[in-house]
Amino acid sequence: MRGRTSLILKTSFDSAHYLPNYEGPCHKLHGHTWNVEVYIEGGVNDDSGMIADFKDVKDMIKQILPDHELINTVVSNPTAENISKYLYDRIKTHPLLPTHCQVTKVILWETPSNGVCYEL
């Protein structure tokens, strides 16, 4: 009997944003190198021994990330909390996500020491 197994992919992207509903320095346009951790759960294939191919999952996630974009064009109030939910929602409905898999959480790091986790 197997326990729960999650595939974890870490990647990063660079983009700018501003926080329209915030009084403070982040109200102005600024950029980050965002680090992302994506957790995908699914059954381990007995033949391959894998949940899914890391390369396929990485390629799928790269299609979703707003790399070198102004995030405000895709998330109206782009706080780290809202961006992590946006990424979660896009990954869970992506046609390349294997049907036997589900995204369980997305961790988004705005800086090396400040991040958020979105999960159901």
CATH code, 109:
3.30.479.10
Which H or E run contains 7?
A: strand 6-17
Residue 62 CB neighbour total at 10 angstroms: 12
Which H or E run contains 39?
A: strand 30-42
Total domains, the chain: 1
In a domain, 26, yes or no: no
Does pLDDT of 1 surpass 90? no
pLDDT tens digits, residue range 25-55?
999 999 999 999 999 999 998 899 999 999 9
pLDDT at position 4: 79
In a domain, 1, yes or no: no
pLDDT tens digits, residue range 2-23?
667 899 999 999 999 999 999 9
In a domain, 66, yes or no: yes
Q: What are phi and psi of 62, to 5 degrees?
A: -60, -30
In a domain, 23, yes or no: no
> What's the predicted TM-score (pTM) here?
0.93
What's the whole-number mean pLDDT along residues 56-65? Answer: 95
pLDDT at position 8: 97
In a domain, 22, yes or no: no
115 contacts: CB under 8 Å, gap ≥ 6: 35, 80, 107, 108, 109
Domain that holds residue 56: 6-17+31-119
